[in-house]
Structure 1
Amino acid sequence: MLSEIRIEALGAISTATAEFDQGLTVLTGETGTGKTMVVTGLHLLGGGRADATRVRTGANRAVVEGRFTTTELGDGVAAVIDEILDSSGAERDDDGSVIAARSVSRDGPSRAYLGGRSVPAKSLSSFTTEVLALHGQNDQLRLMRPDEQRAALDRFADVETKLKRYRTVRDDWLAARRDLAERTARAREMAQEADRLKFGLDEIDAVAPQPGEDDALVEDIRRLSELDALREAAQLARAALAGGPEDDPSHEAASATHSVGQAKSGLEGTDDSALRALAERLGEALTTIADVASELGDYLSELPSDASTLETKLTRQGELRTLTRKYAADIDGVLQWARDARDRMVQLDVSEEALAGLERRVAELQTKVVAAAADLTKARTKAAKGLSKAVTDELSGLAMAGAEFTVSVAPLPARADDSAPLILPSGQPVHAGQHGVDAVEFGFAAHRGTELLPLHKSASGGELSRVMLALEVVLAASAQGTTMVFDEVDAGVGGRAAVQIGRRLARLARTHQVIVVTHLPQVAAYADVHLVVDSGNGRNKASVVRRLDDEDRVAELARMLAGLGESDSGRAHARELLDAARSDANAG
């Protein structure tokens, strides 16, 4: 829910703050006061295009800031919002609300903020899309587009699971088709590439290198090159620590082990605590000396008895260098090249068996795509009947008793240059698009007996406004808890139709927060909260937003009726309208 919006230097508004409650809020004001700037500000928070010409004259930038609460949203939407906030590094305010902001500079780029963090406009849009549904005259025009009509039907039909399954099998089918087409068209080229890879793999397999073997060989060759010097150094060190050859009766006499052992025994024979502590330290040193002497013995036993092994190691090193010159900088890289080559070989298999197997896979996946598409079409066709009836019934309540609204679902014909034609069981080729194989079209007839035509050919501006409102009322259950904003949804209507629009908006406000910019008193009378945008009296003529009490509301409704705000008859008419709307709302 939108609890507050603050606007600075946007259009006719210098600085204004508007607070919103649950239910139906209307925004009114004379032409030119800037009441639509509130909706413009919400479009900016929705990630809409930042127009520098909207910045108020004399200001360097415009700022829009909105505070949203999310406790009214369902668990699924709340989880999505939490994920958006976490991924953006955004934080909730102390009261749990989320502050979204957008600034538009006169000379530079716009900036977006979410939860105190600077974010891309797209991230801001992903948040506000979950909590705001904006409907203006441009949105009515979008309703003319086939993709918007299909999206509306899908909301009503709740086909998200079926659509996801269709897209998954379609992606697999298209990938298999591309693979088959590439192998068939590039068979000769791919066979040559496969031969080159096979030659390299055979050469690597013949050498059979081991991971890290080239580095190990360098160390081995270094040792073998200095074999005599290394053996002599190790022998001298071991003799110094552990003594000479064992067949020498005095082999331990001059060893470090013998000397340290004698020192340790001498200190242990005393009763002095300090000397005995030193004896313990000598015991630790004696253990270290014994360990080093043992490891030196192992080292000597592992050294080759002669340097003949060096030639074998050098030969092996030459074999490995042949591979590293051709395939990678080191042996680990060579082994990675081999793994990649084997994976690529699978893709390059253009044998008759491989192509036949791929053709079978394409056919199997096509069958799955046809089944998933048929399941989606069935759900849409069934829902189309329900949506047609529901919207037609709503139009009857909007003073269009003779109007008829239809939703048709037909196969989407394949084009001559179609890259993804799908053959249905009937033999008809259709376009397998991202959203299925269906063309959805809204039909409309304003009066009984008139020809039913596509919506974009048959509805006037006022009729289109009512069709959109009827659709929103019908689809409201799929977006429960969101804030719905209508800008001039009542354009082109009046009289009894205006009353019905106010009644429907009030009904919609039972499950949603609804904000409406209107010029019709019949609509404004149904509001739970009435805000008015007034032009200022100062030199800069800045507009302000005021919340009206009952008496001010009567005066504003009288002005909207016929500019009769100061007359007794105008106020009486306005009060009558207000009382009638309240009575109607309570009765409903």
Structure 2
Amino acid sequence: MLEWLHIENIAVIEEADIRFQPGFNALTGETGAGKSIVIDALGAVLGGRTSRELIRTGAERAFASAAFSGVSADLPGLAECGAAPDEDGCLVMQREIGSDGRSLCRVGGRPVTVSQMRRVGEELLNIHGQHDGVQLLDEERHVAYLDRFGRTEDVLAAYQASYSAMAELQKKISALRMDEAEKARRMDSLRFQIDELERAQLTPGEEEGLAERRNLLRNGEKYLSALSGADYCLSGGEESGGAVSAIRDAEEALYGIRTLGEEMGRLYERLGALRSEAYDIAETVRDLRESFDFSPAELDAVESRTDLLYRLKKKYGATVEDMLAYLDRCRAELDAMETADDTLARLEKQLTGARKAVEEAGAALTAARKAAAAELEARILRELRDLDMNKVRFAIDFAPREPGADGCDTVRFLMSANVGEDLRPIARIASGGELARIMLALKNVLAEQESVGTLVFDEVDTGVSGRAAQKVAEKLAQVSRRKQVLCVTHLPQLAAMADTHFSVEKGERDGRTYTKVVLLDRERRKAELARITGGAKVTPALLESAGELLDEAEAYRATL
């Protein structure tokens, strides 16, 4: 159950705290006062879509927080985000919306993503917007409503698995059944590319080696000159010794005094190590100088190979490894095309089996849907009778169609509003008030199948008046005995039927518009009902009528 809602800087609401009660909660107020903004705030804190436009002018952020009681630790979605209700079963959900459009979401004090927040919110509260009745006009939604009522998830999942397998086979077969001329062109292109890449005899990692060798060959004279200079300095020439010889002479000079003290001994050892290192370096320099064979022909070959790799990379990949991977793909594609006839025959055989599996799964899904449809028809009709639609007939029509992602059925909701009229699609004959009541009936039936504890109706009374409005009010009162109900309304019948009544009031202060939400006692409820009924001029007669309406509503609730 929704315990309270806290709002900061959302549209015209600077700050508001609303403590909801069990049963039927009604919100009323002048048009534009901000009633639907309360619903928008509630939708935001449950993970609904928002934008920076929701933020109150002049504020840097908007914030909404809601607390729910009686939340089970096993509620779907909680484990995914690592959140949990407290020991009393209370769960707090918070959302902050910044001026940059970004949101900061928390569930049970833990940061979560918007999608995770939405997943949890869907299990706690269901919002029926004032335009939801129009959804009934979209016949593509009818099968989804039926599946939701019939809980056909498992049967539908089995069908969709079979359908996906069949669709994948059809995709493969379609790819193999290309035009023969196009196929020949593609095979010629593949053979050319394979031949060009195979003739190149690519080797992984050769680019790096080529670059290093080319750089060396391009600087051959400089390389040899540097090595020769280093060799002379280290090893000397015919007329003089080099550094190695000088270090050896120094070592021999200290040989006779190496035992005269610890310091002399260490110095002698260091000279010995230095001579060994210098000797190794000199040998390495000499080997490099003697092994380097500068050949203009080799430089030309390296340049040519580098140019070849450059040209191939422009066509087949950014690196040698990428080109080799592309070569493997070309070989595999060419092989598949050369053996296409055999593959096609094999896939056709598999497709026959896949079609049969889809037909069987589709038949099982249709059977499950028809069984659910019979029950849903009866339930909807009972609800419509309660909503003063005694003459209405409602039926769910099935028509076979080609298998699709959601089954092999076209499902349509049909109705007849008047005696003697044929059943026809809802979109063609239902009025606005009838759509609102049918949607309310459907929502009530679906809600009974779900664990959601709170139902929110935003102006569910659109297009409804008179006796029908009273029936809608009674239906919401009945529902509120099983689940908490929040209703934004303009009808006195619905507002009077509520157990708890809030007024959303707009005013001005310091040149700014402010909205507040006020809990009404009986006297203020009478005044609000009189305003709703008679407009700006509230007369004693209207107040007396409002009192009678409250008394009648209280008497009706006592019978539930």
**TM-score, shorter chain, exceeding 0.5:** yes
Q: Report the AA paired with residue 198 of structure 2.
A: D
AA aligned to 2:65 is R
Match of 1:509 in 2: 483
Separation in structure 1 between the aligned mates of residue 25 and residue 520 of structure 2, nearest angstrom? 11
What one-letter code is carried by the residue in structure 2 that aligns with 1:269? T
C-alpha distance 82-482 of structure 1, shift in aligned 2 (>3 A):
farther
Q: Secondary structure at the match of 2:404?
A: coil
1:3-82 matches, within 5 Å, as 3-6=5-8, 17=16, 19-21=18-20, 23=22, 24-29=24-29, 35-36=35-36, 38-39=38-39, 46-47=48-49, 66-69=64-67, 72=71, 75-78=75-78
Q: In 1, Cα distance between the equivalents of 2:219 and 2:36?
A: 89
Deviation at 1:475, TM superposition (A): 1.7
Q: 1:577 aligns with which of 544, 552, 558?
A: 552
Other-structure match for 2:87: none
C-alpha distance in 2 between matches for 1:376 and 1:166: 7
Change in Cα spacing, 1:331 to 1:276, as seen in structure 2 (3 Å) is farther
Indicate the residue corresponding to 2:195 in structure 1: 202
Secondary structure of the 2:77 match is helix
Counterpart for residue 552 of structure 1: 524
Q: 1:572 to 1:341 in 2, by over 3 A?
A: same
Tell me how far 1:66 sits from its aligned partner: 3.3
8 Å CA contact retained: 1:184, 1:350? no
Aligned to 2:86: none
Match among 311, 322, 347 for residue 336 of structure 1? 322
Distance 1:293 1:22 in 2: 93
Partner of 1:406: 395
Paired residue for 1:258, among 244, 248, 263?
Answer: 248
CA distance in 1, matches of 2:444, 2:273: 87
Structure 2 residues not aligned, in runs of 5+:
84-90, 107-112
Task: Determine the structure 2 residue equivalent to 1:187.
Answer: 180
Which residue identity is paired with 2:179? R
Shift of 1:175: 5.2
State percent identity of aligned pairs: 28
Q: Which amino acid in 1 is paired with 2:20?
A: D
The 3 A distance-change label for structure 1 pair 200 and 487 is: closer
| TM-superposed deviation, 1:142 | 1.3
Q: 1:68 to 1:244 in 2, by over 3 A?
A: farther
Decide which moves more: 373-382 or 394-403.
394-403
Any idea what SS the aligned residue of 1:134 has?
Answer: strand
Instruction: Please point out which of 93, 99, 102 is paired with 2:95.
Output: 99
Q: Is the Cα contact below 8 Å between 2:35 and 2:488 reproduced in 1? A: yes
Corresponding residue for 1:120? Answer: none
Letter in 2 for 1:333: T
Is the contact between residue 217 and residue 299 of structure 2 (CA under 8 Å) also seen in structure 1? no
- Does the Cα contact within 8 Å between 1:70 and 1:78 map onto a contact in 2? no
| Pick aligned residue for 1:145 from 138, 145, 166 | 138
TM-score using structure 2 length: 0.72
Contact 2:366-2:409 within 8 A present in 1 as well: yes
Q: How does 1:484-499 map to 2 (within 5 A)?
A: 484-491=455-462, 492-495=464-467, 497-499=471-473
Alignment of 1:283-362 (within 5 A): 285=274, 288-289=277-278, 292=281, 295-296=284-285, 299=288, 303=291, 311=297, 314-315=300-301, 318=304, 321-322=307-308, 324-326=310-312, 328=314, 333=319, 335-344=321-330, 346-347=332-333, 349-351=336-338, 352-360=341-349, 362=351
Which whole-Å CA distance do the structure 2 matches of 1:64 and 1:321 have between them?
61
Deviation at 1:574, TM superposition (A): 4.5
In the alignment, is the contact (CA less than 8 A) between 1:260 and 1:286 conserved in 2? no
Note the alpha carbon deviations across 1:15-44, whole angstroms, 9 max, x for none: 563524364421123567554554567678
Q: Taking structure 1 as reference, are residues 311 and 30 closer, same or farther at Cα in structure 2, changes over 3 Å only? A: closer
Match of 1:531 in 2: 502
Q: 2:443 aligns with which of 472, 480, 485?
A: 472
Distance change (3 Å), C-alpha of 1:530 and 1:387: same
Residue number among 101, 110, 115 corresponding to 2:104 in the alignment: 115
CA shift for structure 1 position 286: 5.6
Measure the CA separation in 2 of the matches of 1:271 and 1:124. Answer: 79
2:259 to 266, 269, 280: 269
Q: State the shift of 1:506 in Å.
A: 0.8
Greater alpha carbon shift after TM alignment, 548-557 vs 193-202:
548-557
Query: What amino acid sits opposite 2:95 in the alignment?
Result: I
TM alignment of 1:150-189, pairs within 5 A:
150-160=143-153, 163=156, 166-167=159-160, 170=163, 173-174=166-167, 176-189=169-182
Would the alpha carbon gap of residues 69 and 270 (structure 1) be closer, same or farther in structure 2, given more than 3 Å must change? Answer: farther
Query: Which residue in 1 is equivalent to 2:474?
Result: 500
State the shift of 1:140 in Å.
Answer: 0.6
Rounded Cα–Cα distance in structure 2 between residues aligned with 1:272 and 1:223: 48
Code of the residue aligned with 1:149 in structure 2: it is H
* Aligned counterparts of 1:350 and 1:254: Cα–Cα separation in 2: 70
SS in 2 for 1:211: coil
Counterpart-to-counterpart distance in 1, 2:60 and 2:545: 38
Instruction: Tell me the SS of whatever aligns to 2:481.
Output: helix
Q: Aligned partners of 2:153, 2:522: CA distance in 1, in Å?
A: 46
Residues matched between the structures, number? 526
Amino acid at match of 2:475: I
Task: Please state whether the residue corresponding to 1:519 is helix, strand or coil.
Answer: coil
SS of match in other structure, 2:399: strand
Are the counterparts in 2 of residues 327 and 333 from structure 1 also a CA contact under 8 Å? yes
Does residue 390 (structure 1) correspond to residue 357 (structure 2)? The answer is no
Q: Secondary structure at the match of 1:97?
A: strand
Q: Which residue of 2 aligns with 1:87?
A: none
Task: Give the secondary structure class of the aligned counterpart of 1:474.
Answer: helix
Which residue does the alignment assign to 1:381? 370
Change (3 A) 1:265 1:397: farther
- Look up the match of 1:426: none
Residues 370, 336 of structure 1: CA spacing in aligned structure 2 closer, same or farther, 3 A cutoff? Answer: farther
- Gaps of at least 5 residues in structure 1 are 84-94, 104-110, 118-122, 246-250, 413-429
| Cα RMSD (Å) | 5.1
Contact 1:224 1:307 in 2 (8 A): yes
**467-476 vs 234-243, greater mean Cα deviation:** 234-243
Q: Read off the aligned partner of 2:551 and give its amino acid letter.
A: E
Distance in 1, Cα, partners of 2:287 & 2:157: 65
Counterparts of 1:38 and 1:62 in 2: how far apart (Å)? 19
How has the CA–CA distance of structure 1 residues 389 and 233 changed in structure 2, closer, same or farther, with 3 Å as cutoff?
same
User: SS of the residue aligned with 1:532?
Assistant: strand
* Contact 2:66–2:92, Cα closer than 8 Å, also in 1: no
2:232, 2:415 → 1: CA distance? 106
User: Aligned pair 1:456/2:427, yes or no?
Assistant: yes
Q: CA 1:67–1:257 in 2, change beyond 3 Å: closer, same or farther?
A: same
Q: Summarize deviations over 1:225-261 as a string: whole Å, max 9, x none.
A: 888996797688578768999xxxxx99953663575
SS of equivalent residue, structure 1 residue 17:
strand
Task: Write the deviation string for residues 126-168 of structure 1: whole angstroms up to 9, x where unpaired.
Answer: 9668456432342112122112222212222334455456556
Could you tell me how far 1:575 is from its partner in structure 2?
A: 4.9
